[in-house]
Amino acid sequence: MGLRRLIVRRGQSFGLRLHFNRPFHFGTDYLTFVAETGPAPKELLGTRATFSLTQARKGNVWSAFDFTIDTNSLLVSLFTPANTVIGPYTLKLEISQGQSHSVVHPLGTFILLFNPWNAEDDVYLPSEILLQEYIMMDYGFVYKGHERFITTWPWNYGQFEEDIIDICFEILNKSLYFLENPSKDYSQRNDPVYICRVVSAMINSNDDSGVLQGNWGEDYSRGVSPLEWNGSVAILRQWSARGRQPVKYGQCWVFAAVMCTVMRCLGVPTRVVSSFRSAHNMDGNLTIDTYYDQNAEMLPTRKRDKIWNFHVWNECWMIRKDLPPGYNGWQVLDPTPQQTSSGLFCCGPASVKAIREGEVHLPYDTPFVYAEVNADEVIWLFGNGQAQEILVHNTSSIGKEISTKIVGSDQRQNITSSYKYPEGSPEERSVFMKASRKMLAPRRASSPFLDLLGSGGPEDQPAQLQLHLARTPEWGQDLMLTLRAWRVPDRVHSRESISLAVRFSAQALLHQGGTREPLWRQTVHLNLDFGKEIQLPLLLPYDNYRNKLTDEKLIRVSGIAKVEATGRSMLVLKDISLEPPHLSIEVSKRAEVGKALRVHITLTNTLTVALSNCTMVLEGSGLIDGQISKNIGTLVAGHTIQIQVDLYPIKTGRRQLQVLISSKEIKEIKGYRDIFVAASRAS
């Protein structure tokens, strides 16, 4: 953050040396310190404090104490309360003798932050290991993709870069809360719950001059694709430099990563959390309906409910004095603009413990977050303008592999058990029914969902179907699948053979859970005898999907099997994430501050097509000031490119270099390298 100014955490002391034009006499020279923040500081609002020089500190209040007189100077300690307003302060000194008029001297400015090291601060976190991770670590990972194909996405938080702290307070000063009532807004900046809600609203730009504009389409020509960001610093600097105009574009992982930067900078322990198959349940009925037609095509729906392939939010650590005992600790904050809360597009803080226990009546936005990880999925067969039958009623398909970075490691931690009891356990179903009764109580008289919960879903099926990948799916290659089908006894057919007609469809899977038009279809006919299994190979050629996928390279293969004797249907699904080429990053020698560090980057195009218009961006706090960008042209199929870059590390300690190579064909070929930077040795 820089050495040219004073930045301190509340609840801690800092020293000042005051120089006078004559010796200071305690008892006849009276010193009164005045600390002020905000546009109209008032002691009643907690934005102005006056305090006199005393021999000892008087508790958790502004104090000037523990002073030492040295000829014409005074060394004094100043203490700031652990519950005071955070932000930039001015400090003045009033000097008087007896009844004479006082003279005011400006002393300078300082910035006050939350203090998670102090037991009296609402963000206190009693673990140095956790504090090093959730406050001091300026890089990390976001987890993306699909529950069975989770990808690690390195991110440069950069919360200690020179100008980031100023931009964080710019964000607070552009919020609607500040613009409507600046003095009231400042007076509430002692409360991490309030600060979190303001930041959650300001990271998106749906209501205000927020940091990021969301874009879930596929045209990013007026800005930067969300996949092409390496870190938060470039985004925050662009927002500030361009007159606080929203930066184009963000999606959930970008919103959450930028919020992590802001909250860590302000002193609130924060981490980034990913949930796979995350529900967006707008009507609060705890069920997400999806529809397929008889040709196995997933249909668009007019309802705003959806299931994201993955969704990313934040957890911030704090005491919840506004809740009953037992709900302190991690709180969910979600800056992605999904729905309004108290009139603004923000979400949280919602206690993770409250979510786990189904206490959806507790603020803030707990029902919405509960549904994100607990809603049921009901899949319908649709035809003749209406839903005809339930194909699947999934009680455990939402909120999978909830993940964050392991403390002190580059590995992923599964924290699903923090959000809910094991799927299908008596505790999980009990909590679900408790939450359902609370959320559905207003419409209890006519709740199809409560009826569905008691119905047990569709009847037993006479066969089981599974789709498997025959080999690792790589972008640019034909996809090989195997259909496994076997007969199981049921009440209708006992053990006799049955005939199935299975219609397959493959569609590009969008991040928000929808699909594009089918890119491949196939129909097969099966005769299943009891006790025998059929394995049928399926081929999805590269030419079918070549120009038809989104940047995330996900395909959903669906199959609808119709039992010819009864007309009943079964559904089989397989989501496929296509592997991009991998790049390697090697460092030639020991890294030292200010000394050239050669980095070798290697990428082999393993695809059958060329990668065109390739660009490379390098980023890493403490290693690079900003970014390094380089155009690397076209990489022919099967060829390897080797790039050498010299870095001059700026800061000591653990650092991470992020490398992103983008092309017209693939937007996200990403890699990282952890680098320990030593202090410069004397030459």
The pairing of strands 597-604 and 270-280 is unpaired
Q: Residue 243 phi/psi, 5° resolution?
A: 70, 30
Answer yes or no: is 374 a known binding residue. yes
Query: 29-36 and 554-563 as β-strands: parallel, antiparallel, unpaired?
Result: unpaired
Q: Are 337 and 256 in contact (CB under 8 A)?
A: no
Query: Could you check whether the bond before residue 194 is cis, i.e. omega within 30 degrees of 0?
Result: no
**Between the CA of residue 200 and those of 107, 110, 125, 295, 315, what are the distances in Å?**
35, 25, 21, 42, 11
Q: Which of 138, 168, 265, 311 is catalytic?
A: 311
Q: Please give the Cα distance from 246 to 335 (Å, whole number).
A: 14
Whether the CB-CB separation of 327 and 193 falls below 8 Å is answered with no
**Peptide bond before residue 226 is cis, with ω within 30 degrees of 0:** no
Which sign does the torsion angle of CA 11, 93, 75, 26 carry? Answer: negative
DSSP for 56-83, written as a single string: S--SSS-EEEEEEEETTEEEEEEE--TT
DSSP string, 303-367: SS-EEEEEEEEEEEEE--TTS-TT--EEEEE--S-SS-BTTBS----EEHHHHHHT-TTSTTTHH
Amino acid, single-letter form, for residue 301:
T
Per DSSP, 253 falls in state H
Q: Binding residue per annotation — 533?
A: no
C-alpha span between 318 and 681 (Å, rounded): 41
Q: What is the full DSSP assignment across 434-498?
A: HHHHHHHGGGGGG-HHHHHHHH-SSPPPSEEEEEEESS--BTTS-EEEEEEEEE--BTTTBTS-E
Give residues with Cβ within 8 angstroms of 242, minimum separation 6.
Answer: none
Q: 280 catalytic, yes or no?
A: no
Taking the C-alpha atoms of residue 372 and residue 360, their distance in angstroms, rounded to an integer, is: 12
365 is catalytic: no
314 is annotated as contributing to ligand binding: no
Catalytic residue among 252, 265, 316, 614: 252
Report which of 460, 677, 504, 485 is spatially closest to residue 587, judged by C-alpha positions. Answer: 677
- Burial letters for 622-653: b for 16+ Cβ neighbours within 10 Å, e otherwise? bbbeebbeeebeebeeeeebebebebebbeee
Residue 625 is among the residues annotated as catalytic for this protein: no
Q: Which of 185, 334, 365, 575 is catalytic?
A: 334
Cα three-residue angle 188-137-60, rounded to 5 degrees: 35
The helix (run of H) or strand (run of E) holding residue 256 is helix 252-266
The CA distance from 295 to 559, in Å, is 8
Q: Is 297 one of the annotated binding-site residues?
A: no
Q: Letter for the amino acid at 533?
A: E
Q: Which amino acid is at 139?
A: Y
What is the rounded distance in angstroms from the CA atom of residue 563 to the CA atom of residue 561? 7
Query: In angstroms, rounded to a whole number, what is the distance separating the alpha carbons of residues 425 and 496?
Result: 35
What are the binding residues? 374, 376, 423, 428
The catalytic site residues sit at 252, 311, 334
What are the binding residues for Ca(2+)? 374, 376, 423, 428
